Each structure stands twice: as C-alpha cells, then as structure tokens.
Amino acid sequence: MRTIWWESGMVKMIDQRLLPGRLEIVAYDDYRDVARAITDMVIRGAPAIGAAGAYGMALAARQSSAQDRDGLLRDLRQAKEVLDAARPTAVNLSWATTRLLKVAERPDLTDVEAIRSALLAEAERVAEEDIAINKRMGAYGAEVIPHGARILHHCNTGSLATVDYGTALGVIRAAHEQGKQIHVWVDETRPRLQGARLTAWELMRDGIPMTLIADNAAGHLMRTGQVDVVLFGADRVAANGDVANKIGTYKLAVCAKENGIPCYAVVPTSTIDLSLPDGDHIPIEERVPEEVTMIDGVRIAPEGVRVYNPAFDITPYRYLTGIITEEGIAYPPFRESLRRLKEAAEARIWSDR
C-alpha cells in the first residue's frame, strides 16, 4: 500500500488523520502545503516524512520563478528551511532535503530546467529506495523473530509510516510471510492513537494475527511471560545508539530489559544521525495540548488544564538488544556498528549513480 507518490505535477498522499474511518487521498502542488501536511500529521512516520521532504523540494523547484541557477538555489534553500521546520525530531526530513539540495548544487547542472528534472528524478529515487530498504530490513529483522513469537509493537511503523511495506511492521510482515505464526500485541499509543487507528488497521488488512491493548497493559504482559520480543521504529538515532521514538517507547524498553525480553529498534540508516553524540542532543518536539485533552473532538479533560505533550522520548542504548537496518543489525558497541552500517549505506546510494 503506497503512502505517498508523484502524479501529474502534484504530490499525493493518504490523509492518515482520517483512518481507519475513511481512506482519502490528498494532493499538493505547493511545497508549503507539504510542510503543513507534515506538521499536521496528514503524513507521519520518519521515512514517509523523508519522502515528503524530497517531493516537497521537487515541488519547490517547479514553483520557483527563477531564471538562473543561483536564483533557483536560493529558492530551494528557503524551501528546505520551511520543510525542515515541519517536524524537528525526525532526521529523515532534513536528510532528504539535504540530499535533494546536494543534487541541485551539482556543478554540471547549470540549466534551471535540468535542475528541476534532476530533483524530481532524485525524489522518485528516494521513494523507491525506501521501499527496497524496508524489505531489506524486514529480511534481516525476521531472522531474530522466533517461530510463534508474541511481538509487542509501539506506534505505527508500517506502510503508512514509510513509502510502502514498513520498518518494524516490515519485520513483522516478513516474519508472517515466512509462516512463523506470530502474534502482535498492538499498543494503542496515546495521545494520537497511531497503534489503535493505523497499526491495527494495517495488520487486519494483511490478515496478521493481532490484539489491541491499552498502553498501560504492556508491562503486565511482559511480566506474565506473554511477550517474546519488543519492536519499534525511531525518528532519530544518535551516534551512541540512543533512540528517539514515539513517547512511551522508553518505558517499554526499560520493562523489556527488566524481564529479559529482546528489544529492537528498526530504522533505515537515514535515521542514524552520527553528528549527535547521544540522545540528550536530539530535539524533542512538543505538540499542542488538544492532542491530550481531546479525542476525535470530544473533550476528556477539564477546560484550562495544564498539559505537557512531548511527541517523543529518548531510549538509552543500554536498553536495546540491537538496531535493525537495511545494511544488517547493529549490536553494541553501537558507536562502531552504526558508523559502519551508515557508511555502507551511503556508499551504496552514491555508487549507484
């Protein structure tokens, strides 16, 4: 199920805010609208946001009225700033816009139409690579999933969080396709309920056995021996292996460690940010109070209540068994293994030119 694509000069995507009640496609021909779609979570999930950023840069090139290379590059740098600000925690976004800008700045591209064409081709390449990357991650990750495993999953990491297939859900899909007879415990994932709304919807569509649980039931399931492995994605991974992921991930990883349960983050190498030494340097987005005080327009908290609503938390590397990527599984010491996998991925991307 494709989440985002280019069609007839526009970026099209599934409006994830409407699921599971309604499957609706929206289209944008302005990069600023793409940025708003990212902020408003029309599209979400680090890899999907990266693809949206890439397509947004291609739109920006088309929107620009610049007649020369320098003018177009100025407009693209401005567009990159707008897009990058849409979701500050997810490094895939700035990774993708940087990649597109790097193409635009190639010295052999001097004609503005040539730059526009090159950017669209690169955005399409980013999207297609994401699908292939997810399937590679799924294959590596399925190796650590035992037959009959009961998997605890947090947030949404499936097709909806990527261009297609998924990261942690991609591992689950691969294990299911291999006939491993798995079962998935799906965290509801407050406050935006991505597990209840999106992950449950995806798994049910694919016929993968699952049970929806309240977030607070996860610890009980682990203590009573009903979980064999914990899987989740990430929006940014620091050089030491600390992971920023959807709020609530940290307590799952701690509980898994306490109960001797393997715990893996599943991420494309584009999510690894070697420029940050540890998780304390990852910016944490804080979102609007209404996400906590209301559900589908219904108020569940008193008027005027004070709210703290961080979208992500940091899971220190010591709680992770490994980090599954498209280049293999990183194990401690993460500073060495993540750098090696990141460099391998970058070399593969640019060697394909």
Which tens digits make up the pLDDT trace of 41-51?
A: 999 999 999 99
Share of the chain above pLDDT 70, in %: 99
Residue where a domain terminates, one of 93, 109, 134:
134
Number of H helices, E strands in the chain: 12, 16
- pTM, rounded to two decimals: 0.92
Of 24, 19, 25, nearest to 5 by C-alpha is 25
Same domain, 129 and 163: no
pLDDT over 90 at 351, yes or no: no
Residue where a domain terminates, one of 134, 162, 190:
134
What pLDDT sits at residue 90? 81
Rounded to an integer, the average pLDDT of 97-108 is 96
What pLDDT sits at residue 94? 94
pLDDT over 80 at 349, yes or no: no
Same domain, 119 and 148: no
Rounded to an integer, the average pLDDT of 69-77 is 96
Same domain, 265 and 337: yes
Q: Which residues are catalytic?
A: 235
What gap in Å lies between CA 153 and CA 155, rounded to an integer? Answer: 7
**Contact by Cβ (8 Å): 173, 164:** no
Three-state secondary-structure class, residue 254: helix
Report if residue 139 sits inside a domain: no
Same domain, 67 and 166: no
Burial of 290 (0-12, 13-18, 19+ CB in 10 A): middle
Give me the CATH number covering residue 88.
1.20.120.420
Report if residue 214 sits inside a domain: yes
Question: Which region, left, alpha or beta, applies to residue 179 given φ > 0 means left and ψ of -120 to 50 means alpha?
Answer: left
Ranges of H-type helices in the chain: 31-39, 46-63, 69-84, 91-104, 112-142, 168-177, 194, 200-206, 218-223, 249-258, 290-293, 334-351
What gap in Å lies between CA 20 and CA 201, rounded to an integer? Answer: 6
Residue where a domain terminates, one of 134, 162, 196:
134
Same domain, 290 and 256: yes
**Contact by Cβ (8 Å): 229, 262:** yes
pLDDT digits (tens, 9 = 90+) for 136-179: 999 999 999 999 999 999 999 999 999 999 999 999 999 999 99
Tokens of 77: 């740098």
What pLDDT sits at residue 347? 87
Report if residue 9 sits inside a domain: yes
How many of the other CB atoms lie within 10 Å of CB of 322? 21
What gap in Å lies between CA 241 and CA 84, rounded to an integer? Answer: 23
Same domain, 115 and 158: no
What pLDDT sits at residue 78? 97
Same domain, 126 and 154: no
pLDDT over 90 at 89, yes or no: no
**Average pLDDT of the chain?**
96
Same domain, 222 and 157: yes
**Contact by Cβ (8 Å): 195, 156:** yes
**Contact by Cβ (8 Å): 325, 140:** yes
pLDDT band at 352 (very low <50, low <70, confident <90, very high): low
Rounded to an integer, the average pLDDT of 211-225 is 98
What pLDDT sits at residue 54? 98
Question: Is the peptide bond prior to 316 cis by the omega test (within 30 degrees of 0)?
Answer: no
Residue 297 domain boundaries = 144-351
What pLDDT sits at residue 324? 98
pLDDT over 70 at 353, yes or no: no
What pLDDT sits at residue 296? 87
Same domain, 149 and 130: no
pLDDT band at 1 (very low <50, low <70, confident <90, very high): confident
pLDDT over 90 at 107, yes or no: yes
Rounded to an integer, the average pLDDT of 202-207 is 97
Same domain, 292 and 149: yes
Q: How many domains is the chain built from?
A: 2
What pLDDT sits at residue 136? 96
Same domain, 66 and 172: no
What gap in Å lies between CA 189 and CA 199, rounded to an integer? Answer: 10
